[in-house]
Amino acid sequence: MIPNSSLSNDVKNILGLQLPTDPRWVDLAGISLGAILTDHAYCEQKAATTCISLIQRYSDREKLVKELAPVVTEEWGHFRMVLAELQKRNLPLGKQRKDVYVNKLIEFQRKGGHPEDRMLDQLLTMALIEARSCERFKRLSEGLDDTYLRHFYRRFMESEAGHYTLFLELAETYLPKEKVRTRLMEWLEYEAAIMQSMEMRGDRIH
């Protein structure tokens, strides 16, 4: 995790998510704990593999490689933690589902133009996923009836917040800060529209 003190004021002052999760979501999630844990496990797995892909794609970016390598280990560790929680509760790891939220984010990525612009969008996609995951984990840590799981998700919430700032900090490393901030605001507006358009389901982290 990148210490907060190492972030620029621009990053620290950027507005966060524009549309909070409906409070009713956590009640639905509490009814579908097996599905939530399964979905969470796959989210952690995909986060690890995406970081590996970024390292492979941008192997010439020394800071990116150095900072994302331990995130791969951390995310895979999270997958194992969620898997262990499923096993402890005698719940199976269900099938991986189509992630509509992430797919809609990917649709907003610039596919052409300058390679650095494409890299920026890839980093901001990861930042938004981590931000929304953090926000959902906060809901779970505050609203679940299961005391153990409330503490369980509190730890995940803090980790996701660190990853969010890391992806923004990496973006600022390779692109002008003003450009990062401007593009992030576009992403935040788009992400809010996605959340508003999607059906609220208690068996999904996103």
What is the predicted pLDDT for the residue at 158?
A: 83
Q: List pLDDT tens digits, range 117-132.
A: 999 999 999 999 999 9
Q: Are 202 and 32 in contact (CB under 8 A)?
A: yes
Give the model confidence (pLDDT) of 141-171 as tens digits. 999 999 999 999 998 988 888 899 999 999 9
Compute the distance between CA of residue 197 and CA of residue 206 in angstroms, rounded to an integer. 12
Q: What are the residue ranges spanned by the domains of the chain?
A: 23-197
Distance CA 27, CA 30 (A): 5
Tell me the C-alpha distance between 162 and 165, whole Å.
5
Neighbouring C-beta atoms of residue 10, cutoff 10 Å = 15
Residue pLDDT, tens place only, 18-33: 888 898 999 999 999 9
CA atoms of 8 and 124, how far apart (whole Å) = 16
The span from the CA of 58 to the CA of 121, in Å, is 14
Integer Cα distance of 72 and 168 in angstroms: 17
Q: Which CATH architecture has domain 23-197?
A: Up-down Bundle (1.20)
**Torsions phi, psi for 67 (to 5 deg):** -80, -30
In angstroms, the CA 196 to CA 193 distance is 5
User: 11 pLDDT exceeds 70?
Assistant: no
Q: What is the pLDDT of residues 40-68, one digit of tens each?
A: 999 999 999 999 999 999 999 999 999 99
Q: Which tokens is 175 given?
A: 């692109």
Q: How does residue 194 score in pLDDT terms, banded at 50, 70 and 90?
A: very high
- pTM of the full structure: 0.90
Asked if residues 99 and 206 have their Cβ atoms less than 8 Å apart, the reply is yes
